């Protein structure tokens, strides 16, 4: 039996959007941006949200050649890090996770029956916690269920979020054998003072070893997640972390920003706010990361992604194919995103659907044969244009003036006024986000996402 987390804090009853919000900065911005609060909201207490989702799946079933992107939420970790805002369950025994996998498979089968089987899955993210909390049989059972419903092409992008402290060569080889060619390891920071402050201890040597194991297993893309704004972070310690990470030569680096929101993530109450860096230090940390990573040959994608020049995301950016959806940046054509698991989010034709976030309620819905949807949002046409504009900002770091026509003129002008702060450059035909603005891209997108007021 596993040792329970030393911080056994259970998630509180929060709204579905808060519980579904991922840790990654860009994903958080994206979810906020595509779910404007002026959209038509459909709650699930009377079943209308679930009925709306079923209707969307039935429409999707008529488009049998359309590929899918999938997001499978695994809300389990060995220990709940103090900086985390995800509603994870820490240190759960295997039988609890086994039950969750059974229910997850049942939800997949229910959705596939309505949406239609046999279509391609081009993008899959296994995360929300750590895929390494599942044992070999659980991982295999989950992927076998997917294979029975849909086609999983060899060139599809399957990503597993892993705890480097729980990943060994055998587990990584299994993931590769199951079709995963990309893994994300949570590193955050290698400074021991910072690690003690967030309750996550792991050495640079361990990260080095697990990266080597992933490559030896045939994993093509190794991504390391870093975070700025953590307690006790200093410019000196952060620079040493970046030097150590660059020596590991990961294929991708994701740079998230810590958000201290203990009202949303109760585990953050254990962080000493006096240890948090001030705004000037956070800005210096971001600048340091940007300059060091670019000097090392990484290309800055959007707000928080750094990839090597030959990376498929870099190529997609050059070709104008880079997109952003609920599960990340991609060069794949637009496709519906189906979310599975407690708190998962789906996107079909621009309408968003939230699964019940609380595990017992989600489980009850699945076992009752229902679609466990608690909330749905249906944006207006103006809001859909706003979504496309925000995607353009997040992917290309610029916004042509034609994107503002048809109801977004005031928001465009509001964004252009940020030129006075050096956040953007306002040209005659477009607005371009500067390096300074890129560090605050979430604020720029959120600001643009506020509808014009009468």
pLDDT reported for residue 454: 29
Token pair in block for residue 8:
């056994």
| Residue 10 resides in a domain | no
**Is there a single domain that holds both residue 437 and residue 344?**
no
**Is there a single domain that holds both residue 200 and residue 180?**
yes
Tell me the residue range of the domain where 86 lies: 16-378
Distances (CA, A) of 286 to 186, 244, 246, 267: 18, 17, 16, 25
| Residue 404 resides in a domain | yes
Point out the domain boundary residue: 378, 409, 426.
378
| Residue 3 resides in a domain | no
Q: Domain total for the chain?
A: 2
What whole-number distance in Å separates Cα of residue 220 and Cα of residue 223?
Answer: 10
**Is there a single domain that holds both residue 346 and residue 440?**
no
What whole-number distance in Å separates Cα of residue 106 and Cα of residue 355?
Answer: 14
| Residue 269 resides in a domain | yes
Does position 21 have pLDDT exceeding 50, yes or no?
no
Give residues with Cβ within 8 angstroms of 394, minimum separation 6. Answer: 26, 29, 30, 302, 303, 324, 441, 445
**Is there a single domain that holds both residue 300 and residue 179?**
yes
- Read off the CATH number of the domain in which 428 is found: 1.10.10.920
pLDDT reported for residue 17: 39
Summarised one tens digit per residue, pLDDT across range 380-421 is: 888 888 888 999 999 999 999 998 888 889 989 999 999 999
DSSP assignment string, 17-37: HHHH--SSHHHHHHHHHHS-T
**Is there a single domain that holds both residue 373 and residue 409?**
no
**Is there a single domain that holds both residue 371 and residue 392?**
no
**Is there a single domain that holds both residue 407 and residue 270?**
no
| Residue 75 resides in a domain | yes
**Is there a single domain that holds both residue 266 and residue 409?**
no
Token pair in block for residue 63:
């488009």
| Residue 236 resides in a domain | yes
**Is there a single domain that holds both residue 314 and residue 422?**
no
| Residue 93 resides in a domain | yes
**Is there a single domain that holds both residue 316 and residue 173?**
yes
- Read off the CATH number of the domain in which 224 is found: 3.20.20.70
Point out the domain boundary residue: 378, 407, 428.
378
What whole-number distance in Å separates Cα of residue 300 and Cα of residue 104?
Answer: 35
Does position 33 have pLDDT exceeding 60, yes or no?
no
Residue 303 banded pLDDT, cuts 50, 70, 90: confident
Tokens 């359309």 — which residue?
A: 66
| Residue 351 resides in a domain | yes
Instruction: Tell me the sheet residues that pair with 227.
Output: 256
Residue 71 banded pLDDT, cuts 50, 70, 90: very high
Instruction: Give the H/E segment covering residue 256.
Output: strand 252-257
7-21, 169-183, 403-417: least confidently modelled range: 7-21
pLDDT mean across residues, the chain: 88
Closest listed residue to residue 90, CA positions, set 73, 99, 77: 77
Summarised one tens digit per residue, pLDDT across range 208-253 is: 999 999 999 999 999 999 999 999 999 999 999 999 999 999 999 9
**Is there a single domain that holds both residue 287 and residue 411?**
no
**Is there a single domain that holds both residue 307 and residue 432?**
no
Point out the domain boundary residue: 322, 350, 378.
378
């Amino acid at each position: 039996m596993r040792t329970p987390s030393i911080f056994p804090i259970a998630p509180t009853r929060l709204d579905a959007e808060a519980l579904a919000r991922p840790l990654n900065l860009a994903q958080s911005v994206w979810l906020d941006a595509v779910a404007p609060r002026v959209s038509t909201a459909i709650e699930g207490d009377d079943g209308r949200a679930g009925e709306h989702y079923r209707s969307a799946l039935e429409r999707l079933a008529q488009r049998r050649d359309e590929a899918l992107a999938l997001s499978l939420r695994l809300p389990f970790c060995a220990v709940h890090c103090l900086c985390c805002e995800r509603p994870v369950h820490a240190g759960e025994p295997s039988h609890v996770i086994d039950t969750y996998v059974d229910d997850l498979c049942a939800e997949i089968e229910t959705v596939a029956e309505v949406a239609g089987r046999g279509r391609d899955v081009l993008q899959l993210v296994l995360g929300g916690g750590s895929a390494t909390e599942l044992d070999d049989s659980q991982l295999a059972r989950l992927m076998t269920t997917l294979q029975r419903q849909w086609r999983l092409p060899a060139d599809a992008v399957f990503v597993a979020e892993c705890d480097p402290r729980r990943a060994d060569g055998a587990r990584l080889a299994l993931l590769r054998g199951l079709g995963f060619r990309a893994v994300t390891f949570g590193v955050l920071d290698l400074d021991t003072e910072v690690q003690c402050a967030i309750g996550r201890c792991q050495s640079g040597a361990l990260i080095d070893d697990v990266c080597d194991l992933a490559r030896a297993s045939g994993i093509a893309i190794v991504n390391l997640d870093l975070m700025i704004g953590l307690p006790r972070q200093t410019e000196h310690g952060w620079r040493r972390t970046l030097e150590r990470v660059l020596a590991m030569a990961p294929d991708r680096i994701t740079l998230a920003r810590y958000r201290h929101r203990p009202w949303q993530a109760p585990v953050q109450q254990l962080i000493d706010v006096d240890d948090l860096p001030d705004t000037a230090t956070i800005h210096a940390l971001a600048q340091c990361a940007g300059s060091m990573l670019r000097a090392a040959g990484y290309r800055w994608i959007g707000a928080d992604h750094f990839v090597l020049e030959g990376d498929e995301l870099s190529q997609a950016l050059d070709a104008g194919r880079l997109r952003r959806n609920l599960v990340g940046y991609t060069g794949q054509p637009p496709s519906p995103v189906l979310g599975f698991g407690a708190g998962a989010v789906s996107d079909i034709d621009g309408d968003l659907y939230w699964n019940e976030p609380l595990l017992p309620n989600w489980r009850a819905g699945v076992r009752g044969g229902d679609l466990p949807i608690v909330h749905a949002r249906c944006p207006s046409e103006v809001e859909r244009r706003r979504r496309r504009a925000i995607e353009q900002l997040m992917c290309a770091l610029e916004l042509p003036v034609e994107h503002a026509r048809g109801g977004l003129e005031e928001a465009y002008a509001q964004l252009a006024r940020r030129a006075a702060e050096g956040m953007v450059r306002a040209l005659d035909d477009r607005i371009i986000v500067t390096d300074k603005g890129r560090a605050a891209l979430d604020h720029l997108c959120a600001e643009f996402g506020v509808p014009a007021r009468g």
